[in-house]
Every structure is written in C-alpha cells, then in structure tokens.
C-alpha cells in the first residue's frame, strides 16, 4: 500500500503497518541541522546569536539589556521587598507576628502607586464636568467679539493667552465693559494693539480684572490714550482678524468654543486663517431636534387650541390602560387580589400599588 498522499507521512493520523515499515525514517529539519553542525562548528545558539547581532561581536550568553537576572539564586538577598526571607527568619520574629485578618495594611502587588485611587473608590473630585459647562452658550457673533476682546487684552498685558478660558463667565458689570470694547480691523496682524476702549475708566477696570487672570501681574499700559476710541465701537469682531499665529489661534478657538458651547470641527480649525472663516464654519445648521408631540400637544391644550375629543399620553398605552378606560381594571385587580395571585404593595410609589403576579395558577 502506498503511503497517504494528502498528508506528509509524519503528520498522518493513521498509517497502516505496511506503510510504516516501508517508509524511510524521517528526520525533522531541526534535528538534521543540529546533527549537521554537531562537529566542531559553533552551537545553534551561538550561530543564532551572531546572526541576530550581525557580526562576530555577539555579547555572549549574558542578557545585555536588564543585567543580571533577578531569578538567579542568592542575588540581592534581603535588599528587595519581594526577596524571600531566609529560613528561620520568620520564626525569630514570631513574637511580634500577628496574623492578618483582612488585607488592609498589607503590601499589595499588581498595581502602581498611582492607581491606588482606584481602590479607594469614587470621590467628589473624580466627578467629570464637560468643557464649557459653566458658561451659558452665547450667539456666535457675541461669542466671537468677546473672545477677540479678551485675547487682545491678554496680548496687551503680555500674559498667556489660553488662560482666558479659566475665567468661565464674567460678572454682569464686567461683561458690559467687554461688550463696550472693540477690536480694530486695521491692525489685523497685531492682537496686542488692535483693542479699543470706549473710555479711560473701562480700560483701567478691564486691565485690573485681566491682571488677575492666570499668573497675577501688575502691568500697566504705556501711552493708554492710543487705545481709547472716540468713535462708537462696534459690537462685532472684525472678520479679517488674523489667526496665523498658532498660539493666538489656539487661545481664540478654545475660548470661542467655550463661549458658544459648540465643538468646532478639526477641518475648520486647520483650514481657517481668520476669525471670519471660523465663524463661517459654524454657520451650518445644527441637527434638527425631534418633535416631542406630547409636549407640543400639551402646550396647545394649555392655550385651549385643542378640541376636547383629543386625548394624548406621554407613554405607550398598555392593556392595563385599556382595561381602565373600559372600567374593568378595578374588577380584575380586586379579583386577582382575592385569589392571592398578586400582592398589594405596602410602601412605595402611589401609582404602582400592585406588585408583579406571584405566578400561581388561578383557581377556577
């Protein structure tokens, strides 16, 4: 009988005795290689090592990366925390030894020191609040104007621009002062010289407030009269304000996103070079919210716009509602309670006085 053609002789699950005796003895490729190099040539490990290190300067059998192995018996005995105590050491300390009942206070393995908080559980500081949650969303033009004014002020004071976002929402009086300022469009490249205040008092107040933001400073402005505008200031940010400087761009977009409460697409951030382009990227309509029919109908009913033959409900009508509308719900539940098939709840929600059925068969 010929040996199996489908599988190699060595891998066949069953080979008849005839084939077994006729087949030549097969030697695995690895064994053949070992036998081939077994004479005076270097060992397989040596050759593999030299091929890995590409040359004759293989570092030898010692591990070149981590030094001496920690598993070597007798290495650094007693130094490491995990080192096993010597035999009899436990017995010597036996007098002070107290057997632990719980794992509190014992050394732990399996996590780093930074992960200890996971074991301590959740605390109030772990609560997450999304970026911009402390700011009431503003319309896009107002937000752009405020962000431009604030960043110009920070640039005038020579402070970190992005720290404007730490402020959140201003007090009403300060907000009015900011709304009264304007950023000139002529100095499109220089944010530190484009701001115009309506009067001297406003400028002093705002400079005092913004000196407190981030790292506190006492910087004053030289030649303040150049920043005071006699004309009526515009309440909108000029659209050609440049965002070429990446620091300004980052600070503006961060503050603008915080004030509008909207996420600005990455593509818009990358491609925009002026304030106007950022504003244009947000002009797309937001996804339409679904109509809440029950709310709308409730509003119409409250003003008497609904005829009396319309009934509406917030939730899906169940069979129980159908029974109730037909006036048989009370009779059904009374009978079920009498037969002991459902149990009346003692406490809890008023609307749910009935618990689930106990699963008993009704008595007929």
- Strands 182-183 and 342-344, by their bridges, are unpaired
Q: Which is nearer to other proteins, 246 or 308 (CB)?
A: 308
- Among 74, 290, 327, 348, the residue binding other proteins under the rule CB under 8 A is 290
- Among 62, 96, 291, 303, the residue binding other proteins under the rule CB under 8 A is 291
Closest contact distance (angstroms) between CB of 352 and other proteins is 19
287 binds other proteins (CB under 8 A): no
Q: Which is nearer to other proteins, 287 or 344 (CB)?
A: 287
Closest contact distance (angstroms) between CB of 319 and other proteins is 13
Report DSSP letters for 233-267, one per residue.
PPSS--TT-B--SHHHHHHHHHHHHHHHT-PPPHH
Q: Which is nearer to other proteins, 13 or 310 (CB)?
A: 310
Rounded-to-integer distance, Cα 237 and Cα 216, Å:
27
Closest contact distance (angstroms) between CB of 289 and other proteins is 10
298 binds other proteins (CB under 8 A): no
Cβ-in-10-Å burial (0-12, 13-18, 19+) of 259 comes to: buried
Helix, coil or strand: residue 342:
strand
Give the per-residue contact string, 307-346, with other proteins (x = CB under 8 A; - = no): xxxxxxxxxxx-----------------------------
**Cβ count near 156 (within 10 Å):** 20
- Using CB under 8 A, which of the segments 12-20, 142-150, 203-211, 294-302 binds other proteins? 294-302
Closest contact distance (angstroms) between CB of 310 and other proteins is 5
> By CB under 8 A, what part of segment 13-52 binds other proteins?
none
129: CB partners within 8 A, 6+ apart: none
Task: Label each residue of 170-183 as H, E or C.
Answer: CCHHHHHHHHHCEE
Closest contact distance (angstroms) between CB of 288 and other proteins is 10
Closest contact distance (angstroms) between CB of 294 and other proteins is 7
How does DSSP classify residue 292? -
Rounded-to-integer distance, Cα 86 and Cα 92, Å:
11
Residues lying near other proteins in the complex (CB under 8 A): 290-294, 296-297, 300, 305-317
């Amino acid at each position: 009988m010929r040996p199996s053609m489908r599988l190699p002789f060595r891998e066949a699950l069953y080979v008849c005795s005839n084939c077994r005796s006729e087949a030549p003895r097969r030697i695995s490729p690895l064994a053949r290689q070992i036998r081939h190099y077994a004479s005076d040539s270097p060992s397989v490990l040596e050759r593999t090592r030299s091929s890995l290190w590409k040359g004759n300067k293989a570092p030898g059998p010692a591990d070149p990366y981590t030094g001496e192995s920690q598993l070597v018996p007798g290495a650094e005995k007693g130094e490491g925390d995990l080192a096993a105590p010597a035999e009899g050491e436990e017995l010597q300390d036996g007098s002070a030894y107290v057997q632990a009942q719980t794992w509190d206070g014992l050394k732990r393995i399996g996590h780093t020191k930074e992960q200890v908080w996971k074991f301590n559980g959740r605390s109030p500081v772990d609560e997450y609040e999304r970026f911009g949650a402390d700011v009431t969303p503003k319309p896009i033009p107002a937000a752009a104007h405020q962000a431009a004014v604030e960043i110009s002020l920070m640039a005038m004071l020579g402070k970190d621009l992005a720290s404007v976002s730490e402020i959140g929402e201003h007090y009403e009086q300060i907000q009015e002062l900011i709304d009264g300022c304007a950023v000139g469009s002529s100095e499109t490249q220089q944010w530190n010289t484009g701001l115009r205040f309506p009067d001297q008092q406003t400028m002093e107040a705002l400079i005092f407030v913004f000196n407190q933001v981030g790292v506190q400073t006492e910087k004053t402005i030289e030649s303040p009269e150049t920043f005071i505008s006699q004309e009526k200031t515009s309440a909108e940010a000029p659209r050609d304000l440049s965002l070429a400087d990446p620091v300004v761009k980052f600070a503006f977009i961060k503050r603008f996103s915080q004030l509008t409460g909207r996420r600005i697409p990455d593509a818009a951030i990358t491609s925009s070079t002026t304030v106007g382009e950022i504003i244009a990227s947000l002009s797309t309509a937001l996804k339409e919210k679904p109509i809440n029919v029950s709310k709308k109908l409730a509003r119409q009913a409250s003003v008497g716009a609904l005829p009396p033959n319309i009934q509406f409900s917030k939730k899906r009508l169940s069979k129980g509602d159908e029974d109730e509308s037909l006036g048989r719900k009370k009779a059904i539940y009374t009978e079920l309670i009498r037969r002991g098939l459902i149990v009346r709840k003692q406490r809890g929600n008023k609307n749910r006085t009935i618990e689930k059925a106990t699963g008993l068969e009704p008595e007929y």
